[in-house]
């Protein structure tokens, strides 16, 4: 199958233009011209309209239409906030990392335009604590842009002010969930809030707040520049545009790739990422959308990578993180590691997740260590069933993905792991 | 003390948030205090609580929640090796074993000379660079067996030469 070409990158423009992270290079390539155009010659409503027409969907995992989200913000309540989700902690995901380090000004320009569109004068970038360099780097970039009058007061003479601050998290996956993120930004432990009210109405400091992912906002200047129709020339009708997807594990060329939405998993793994690393070790399974997603196997390779196709297959595109594993990987160990992650990251607010993840790890661990008991697989399935749908936030449910996937595709291997111990 | 000695930096942090919302400055202030005192002990927690007019227990709870805050002694350099999926199938286990061997400690421990603390951590968003670790939150990519010794030597020399360190990652370079 021929590789679908993309003529230019929308978000990973650093792949097309060397040193675009430098403000001068960014400016020489039309940088901040769209912020100027938006603030001086467009109304917020017109910007929201264009983003709606583009069909841009949130890149942070859920795929919610961005323009629609922006239109939920009540006009009369002030102040409003824009919060940028740069928490990127879903195992397998590292595309925001590249955007921040390599194309920071396009993100910042996207923030300026989006803040103006929703009527926010302050934006916070909540960045995971481990991106310590990224946080410093963004602060530097903001300062540079500020000095040139591209961020700050009375931008481009429009009378509009936008301040952008970087706020570092401190190591907690749950703080990627938007309401836990807001709690953390308020200086508290990161435990999710009950929804509704949604952040659009009562978010940061109980004020109207839009939370958007880094990649989502990085798309915005290009949509304003080239229009919704151009954006829709990439991707599919319901999943327009491109997606920066991280691929890792046992492929020849792991890394980030900006794909047009809708290519098949087969094309992505074999044409874009070079196929399997070791010709003697074929593909065993794929964790297609971050550790939270249900696994796929060889039989699913022709699935198109869009939100809807992946959902229809019982899994998700998620944050754009594909982990490819070959036949050297024992299923029990993989499931154990995935559930160890969720156990470690459970915020402890609700008992099905707090206790459930603990229990899952305990059982996986004893199987992995050679002390599995007859009936342990049924036990895992049963614990999973008791957790699904009963957790306060999606994290708890996510820990059941590994259990159900392992049982669905690798039951004989699991049974053998236990039988071998008796 | 913390406030008096770092007034400009702390005032700068506080200025990012609305005046009636200074609790938002808690995480950044804890990072600062952790660097100044080497860990977040009772006294440093109390100082941060006072700056923000917060109850001690609120701050204590926050310190316990986040993995990048240390309430126990750590070395000058905290080595965080990712052992999550996929790293654990791409050389992370071998890297942890190698480091344990060379440093003479187990993951979770600190060397006798208090230079290194070794930890296993969850995904650090650099999975394509496996095996990967952070040293005081600075990335070291593809730490293959032939690179380990040189990396440790450089880090140790930097400490001995008195190069400033920040366990909170406030000095992390690319
Ligand atoms: C457990 C959990 C972790 C999440 N982590 C992230 C994250 O690291 N980055 C992110 O952008 N969204 C994350 N999300 C999704 C956010 O809650 C939210 O939907 C997103 O930031 C909205 O931005 P978008 O519409 O631009 O995608 C997470 C959700 C959950 C339930
Ligand atoms: S499901 Fe887990 S992470 Fe979510 S609120 Fe409950 S304990 Fe916290
Ligand atoms: S799993 Fe190790 S960096 Fe992502």
**Chain A residues near residue B82 by CB distance under 8 angstroms:** none
Q: Are residues B39 and B10 in the same domain?
A: yes
Q: Tokens for A320?
A: 């754009």
Q: Provide the strand spans (E) within A131-241.
A: 163-168, 209-213
Establish whether the linkage from the previous residue to B86 is cis, with ω within 30° of 0. yes
pLDDT score of B106 more than 60: yes
Phi, psi of A78, rounded to the nearest 5 degrees: -140, 155
Q: Are residues B56 and B112 in the same domain?
A: no
| Domain membership flag for residue B131 | yes
| Nearest-CB residue to A171 (from B68, B88, B130) | B68
| Domain membership flag for residue B44 | yes
Closest by CA to B139, choosing from A134, A169, A87, is A134
Return all residues near B63 (Cβ < 8 A) that are at least 6 apart: B30, B40, B45, B69, B71
The larger pLDDT score, comparing residue A4 to residue B12, is at B12
- Phi/psi region, residue A30 (left: phi>0; alpha: psi -120 to 50; beta: rest), is left
The 10 Å CB-count burial string (b at 16+, else e) for B125-142 is: bbbbbbbbbbbbbbbbee
Which pLDDT band, with edges at 50, 70 and 90, does A350 fall under? very high
Q: Are residues B52 and B114 in the same domain?
A: no
Q: Are residues B20 and B88 in the same domain?
A: no
Quick one: A13-232 is in which CATH superfamily? NADH-ubiquinone oxidoreductase 51kDa subunit (3.40.50.11540)
| Domain membership flag for residue B168 | no
Establish whether the linkage from the previous residue to A12 is cis, with ω within 30° of 0. no
Q: What is the mean pLDDT of residues A305-333?
A: 96
Interatomic CA distance for residues A287 and A273, integer angstroms: 15
Q: Are residues B95 and B138 in the same domain?
A: yes
pLDDT score of B174 more than 90: no
A137 touches chain B (CB under 8 A): yes
The pLDDT score that the predictor gives to residue B1 is 86
A321, A91 Cβ separation under 8 angstroms: yes
ipTM of the complex: 0.98
Q: Are residues B119 and B154 in the same domain?
A: yes
**Chain B residues near residue A87 by CB distance under 8 angstroms:** none
Secondary structure (H, E, C), chain B = CHHHHCHHHHHHHHCCCCHHHHHHHHHHHHHHHHHHHCCCCHHHHHHHHHHCCCCHHHHHHHHHHCCCCCCCCCCCEEEEEECCCCHHHCCHHHHHHHHHHHHCCCCCCECCCCCEEEEEECCCCCHHHCCCEEECCEEECCCCHHHHHHHHHHHHHHHHCCCCCCCCCCCCCC
Residues 293-322 of A with CB under 8 A from B: 321
| Domain membership flag for residue B88 | yes
Q: Which three-class secondary structure state does DSSP give residue A285?
A: strand
- DSSP assignments along A11-42, one per residue: S-GGGTSTTTTSHHHHHHTTTTHHHHHHHHH-
A276: β partners: A251
Q: What is the mean pLDDT of chain A?
A: 97
Interatomic CA distance for residues A391 and A173, integer angstroms: 16
Q: Are residues B127 and B153 in the same domain?
A: yes
A287 touches chain B (CB under 8 A): yes
Count of the separate structural domains present in chain B = 2
The pLDDT score that the predictor gives to residue A420 is 80
- DSSP assignments along A292-345, one per residue: TSPPB-GGGTT-B-SHHHHHHTTS--TTTEEEEEETTS-HHHHHHHHHHHHHHH
Q: Model-level pTM?
A: 0.98
Which residue, by CA, sits nearest to atom 8 of ligand 2?
A347
At A34-77, the pLDDT tens digits run: 999 999 999 999 999 999 999 999 999 999 999 999 999 999 99
Residue B106 C-alpha to ligand 1 middle, in angstroms?
Answer: 34
CATH number at residue B16: 1.10.10.1590
Q: Tokens for A298?
A: 């060889």
pLDDT score of A388 more than 90: yes
| Domain membership flag for residue B54 | yes
Which pLDDT band, with edges at 50, 70 and 90, does A194 fall under? very high
The architecture of the domain spanning A331-419 is Up-down Bundle (1.20)
Q: Tokens for A355?
A: 């206790």
Q: Are residues B53 and B84 in the same domain?
A: no
| Domain membership flag for residue B112 | yes
**Chain B residues near residue A347 by CB distance under 8 angstroms:** 65
The pLDDT score that the predictor gives to residue A6 is 84
Cβ of B82 closer than 6 Å to ligand 3, yes or no, is yes
Q: Are residues B82 and B153 in the same domain?
A: yes
Q: What is the mean pLDDT of residues A308-321?
A: 95
Domain boundary among B42, B65, B88: B65
At A158-185, the pLDDT tens digits run: 999 999 999 999 999 999 999 999 999 9
The pLDDT score that the predictor gives to residue B170 is 95
A256, A94 Cβ separation under 8 angstroms: yes
At A130-141, the pLDDT tens digits run: 999 999 999 999
Burial of A156 (0-12, 13-18, 19+ CB in 10 A): middle
Which pLDDT band, with edges at 50, 70 and 90, does A4 fall under? confident
| Nearest-CB residue to B123 (from A92, A124, A172) | A92
Q: Which three-class secondary structure state does DSSP give residue A66?
A: helix
The 10 Å CB-count burial string (b at 16+, else e) for A157-167 is: eeebebbbbbb
Q: Tokens for A211?
A: 């939370």
Q: Are residues B100 and B155 in the same domain?
A: yes
Q: Are residues B61 and B84 in the same domain?
A: no
A119, A158 Cβ separation under 8 angstroms: no
Return all residues near A397 (Cβ < 8 A) that are at least 6 apart: A387, A388, A389, A391
Q: Chain-centre distance of CA A7, in angstroms?
A: 24
Which pLDDT band, with edges at 50, 70 and 90, does A2 fall under? low
Q: What is the mean pLDDT of residues B153-159?
A: 97
At A198-225, the pLDDT tens digits run: 999 999 999 999 999 999 999 999 999 9
Mutate to test the interface with B, among A97, A122, A134, A248 (most CBs of B within 10 A): A248
Interatomic CA distance for residues B110 and B117, integer angstroms: 4
Mutate to test the interface with B, among A19, A87, A91, A152 (most CBs of B within 10 A): A91
Q: Are residues B40 and B112 in the same domain?
A: no
The parent domain of residue B115 ranges over 77-160
Q: Decide which of 2.40.30.10, 3.40.50.720, 3.10.20.600, 3.30.450.20 is the CATH code for A242-326.
A: 3.10.20.600
A324: β partners: A249, A286
pLDDT score of B138 more than 60: yes
At A376-385, the pLDDT tens digits run: 999 999 999 9
| Domain membership flag for residue B8 | yes
| Domain membership flag for residue B91 | yes
Mutational test site, ligand 3, from B83, B90, B126, B143, max ligand atoms within 8 Å of CB: B126
**Chain A residues near residue B125 by CB distance under 8 angstroms:** 88-89, 93-94, 96-97, 128, 130-131
Domain boundary among B28, B45, B65: B65
Interatomic CA distance for residues A262 and A245, integer angstroms: 12
CATH number at residue B115: 3.40.30.10
pLDDT score of A1 more than 60: no
């Amino acid at each position: 199958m021929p590789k679908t070409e993309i003529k230019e990158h929308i978000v990973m423009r650093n792949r097309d233009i060397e040193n675009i992270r430098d403000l001068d290079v960014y400016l020489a390539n039309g940088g901040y011209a769209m912020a100027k155009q938006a603030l001086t010659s467009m109304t917020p409503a017109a910007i929201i309209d264009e983003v709606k027409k583009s069909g841009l969907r949130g890149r942070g995992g859920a795929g919610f239409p961005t323009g629609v989200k922006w239109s939920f913000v009540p006009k009369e309540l002030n102040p409003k906030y824009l919060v940028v989700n740069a928490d990127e902690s879903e195992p397998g995901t590292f595309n925001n990392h590249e955007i921040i380090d390599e194309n920071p000004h396009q993100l910042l320009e996207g923030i300026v335009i989006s803040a103006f569109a929703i009527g926010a004068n302050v934006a916070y970038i909540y960045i995971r604590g481990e991106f310590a360099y990224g946080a410093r780097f963004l602060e530097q970039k903001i300062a540079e842009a500020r000095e040139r009058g591209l961020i700050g007061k009375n931008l481009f003479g429009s009378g509009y002010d936008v301040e952008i601050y970087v706020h570092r998290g401190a190591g907690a996956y749950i703080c990627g969930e938007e309401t836990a993120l807001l709690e953390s930004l308020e200086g508290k432990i990161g435990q999710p809030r009950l929804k509704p009210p949604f952040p659009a109405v009562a978010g940061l400091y109980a004020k109207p707040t839009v939370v958007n992912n880094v990649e989502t906002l990085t798309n915005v200047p290009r949509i304003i520049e080239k229009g919704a129709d151009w954006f829709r020339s990439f991707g599919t009708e319901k999943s327009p545009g491109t997606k920066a997807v991280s691929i890792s594990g046992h492929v020849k060329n792991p890394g980030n790739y900006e794909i047009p939405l809708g290519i098949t998993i087969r094309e992505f793994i074999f044409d874009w990422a070079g196929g399997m690393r070791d010709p003697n070790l074929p593909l065993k399974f794929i964790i297609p959308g971050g550790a939270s997603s249900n696994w796929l196997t060889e039989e699913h390779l022709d699935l198109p990578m869009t939100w809807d196709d992946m959902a229809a297959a019982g899994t998700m595109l998620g944050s754009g993180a594909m982990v490819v594993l070959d036949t050297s990987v024992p299923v029990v160990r993989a499931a154990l590691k995935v559930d160890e992650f969720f156990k470690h990251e459970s915020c402890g607010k609700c008992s099905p997740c707090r206790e459930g993840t603990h229990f899952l790890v305990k059982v996986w661990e004893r199987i992995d260590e050679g002390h599995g008991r007859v009936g342990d697989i049924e036990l895992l399935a049963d614990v999973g069933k008791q957790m699904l749908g009963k957790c306060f936030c999606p994290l708890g449910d996510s820990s059941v993905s590994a259990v159900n996937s392992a049982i669905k595709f690798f039951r004989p291997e699991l049974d053998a792991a236990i039988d071998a111990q008796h | 003390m913390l406030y008096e000695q770092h007034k400009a930096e702390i005032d700068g942090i506080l200025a990012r948030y609305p005046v009636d919302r200074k609790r938002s400055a808690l995480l950044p202030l804890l990072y600062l205090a952790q660097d100044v005192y080497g860990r977040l002990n009772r006294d440093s927690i109390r100082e941060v609580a006072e700056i923000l007019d917060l109850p001690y227990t609120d701050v204590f709870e926050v310190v316990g929640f986040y993995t990048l805050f240390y309430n126990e002694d750590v070395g000058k350099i905290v080595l965080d090796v990712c052992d999550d999926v996929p790293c654990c199938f791409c050389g992370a286990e071998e890297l942890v074993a190698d480091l344990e061997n060379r440093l003479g400690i187990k993951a979770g421990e600190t060397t006798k000379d208090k230079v290194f603390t070794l930890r296993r951590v969850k995904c650090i968003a650099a999975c394509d660079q496996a095996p990967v670790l952070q040293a005081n939150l600075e990335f070291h990519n593809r730490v293959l067996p032939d690179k380990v010794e040189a990396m440790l030597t450089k880090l140790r020399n930097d400490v001995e030469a008195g190069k400033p360190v920040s366990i909170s990652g406030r000095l992390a370079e690319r």
